[in-house]
């Protein structure tokens, strides 16, 4: 699935920035995929490369690298309600091996704006120690689903689902977040969902998505916090199919709409700078925060054969006033 579908609203959105009038942020996300997995079993590429017969494929992805530059803005409408906007710019590249003459090894790329989202979040009984926040809105299909490239099918061929930049449908993002804090720790949990609506112009829709996470954060230094987070994700396979990949025999696994979806759990470790505690500080850093996160999958059960995740990391910056 495209990186725009792997993004989630920052859990910090329902945290310290909730008391600020507005905030802006930039985040660089990268995810890399490598070997194949069917269920919980890893499949070596050598076992999948072969004539197209539903078990082996003449074209295989050896490495998928997805990057997103994500920009977000949040504005406090009143004491309990915020308006949130998020827009990604996505870059993707996929390396291949193939049995097709002239394409023994090749790389395809795509880049552009992904799906933007607009949500409202509302605090429920929140105070300085924590509370609940709910959020809902709309994901706008601003990402392209007609990306093309030079493939064994010929120049200007429609690229498979993984290389598209958006869903092509108006989707509904929903979330509920709980946060709390003690003298030494900040902790919380969040459930995020994305409900797909209808079918896009290419004749398919991506699977519904659910992400549940829990985190704990503590202060390492006066200006630096450390975070540990568990994030579990479940998403469905693609309904329908792109007219360029009708099946039932597919040249590559990522052209098969049934070889999408599954369950994944990531362990994510992070560092984040904290603004100075002095409220009268005039430092330029008094309202800014910088962060770094690195995550590894500790459990993957995928509808396959499907490329499995190797790692992910995020660099972030935010400014709140």
DSSP result, 55-73 = SSBSEEEEEEEEEEEEEEE
Q: What DSSP designation does 157 have?
A: E
pLDDT score of 125: 74
Contacts of 46 by beta carbon, 8 Å cutoff, 6+ apart: none
Per-residue model confidence as pLDDT tens digits over 126-141: 666 678 999 999 999 9
Q: What is the pTM of this model?
A: 0.90
Pairing label, strands 288-320, 239-240: unpaired
- Distance CA(273)–CA(113), nearest Å, equals 29
Q: Give the residue-averaged pLDDT of 30-40.
A: 94
Kindly tell me if the per-residue pLDDT of 187 is higher than 70.
yes
Pairing label, strands 262-273, 224-235: antiparallel
In terms of CATH architecture, what is 3-320?
Beta Barrel (2.40)
- Distance CA(221)–CA(152), nearest Å, equals 54
pLDDT score of 304: 85
Give strand pairing partners of 87: 71
Bigger pLDDT: 286 or 105?
105
Q: Where are the domains of the chain?
A: 3-320
- Distance CA(185)–CA(231), nearest Å, equals 19
Token digits for 58? 């003449």
pLDDT score of 138: 96
């Amino acid at each position: 699935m495209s990186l725009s579908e792997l993004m989630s609203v920052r859990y910090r959105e329902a945290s310290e920035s909730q008391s600020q009038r507005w905030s802006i942020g930039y985040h660089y996300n990268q995810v890399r995929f490598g070997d194949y997995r069917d269920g919980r079993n890893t499949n070596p590429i050598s076992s999948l490369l072969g004539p197209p017969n539903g078990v082996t494929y003449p074209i295989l992805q050896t490495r998928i690298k997805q990057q997103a530059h994500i920009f977000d803005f949040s504005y406090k409408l009143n004491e309990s309600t915020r308006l949130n906007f998020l827009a990604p710019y996505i870059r993707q590249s996929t390396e291949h091996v193939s049995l097709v003459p002239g394409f023994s090894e090749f790389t395809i790329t795509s880049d552009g704006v992904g799906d933007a989202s607009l949500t409202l979040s509302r605090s429920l009984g929140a105070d300085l120690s924590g509370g609940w926040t709910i959020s809902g809105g709309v994901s706008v299909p601003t990402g392209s689903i007609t990306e093309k490239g030079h493939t064994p099918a010929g120049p200007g061929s429609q690229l498979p689902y993984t290389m598209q930049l958006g869903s092509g449908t108006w989707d509904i993002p929903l979330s509920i977040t709980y946060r709390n804090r003690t003298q030494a720790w900040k902790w919380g949990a969040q459930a995020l969902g994305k409900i797909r609506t209808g079918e896009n112009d290419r004749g398919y829709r991506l699977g519904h998505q659910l992400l549940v996470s829990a985190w704990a954060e503590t202060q390492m230094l006066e200006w630096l916090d450390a975070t540990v987070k568990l994030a579990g994700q479940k998403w469905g396979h693609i309904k329908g199919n792109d007219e360029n990949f009708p099946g039932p025999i597919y040249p590559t696994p990522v052209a098969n709409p049934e070889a999408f979806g599954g369950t994944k759990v990531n362990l994510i470790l992070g560092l984040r700078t904290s603004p100075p505690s002095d409220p009268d500080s005039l430092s330029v850093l008094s309202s800014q925060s910088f962060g770094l996160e690195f995550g590894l999958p500790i459990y993957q059960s995928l509808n396959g054969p499907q490329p499995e995740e190797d790692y992910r990391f995020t660099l972030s910056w935010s400014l709140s006033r």
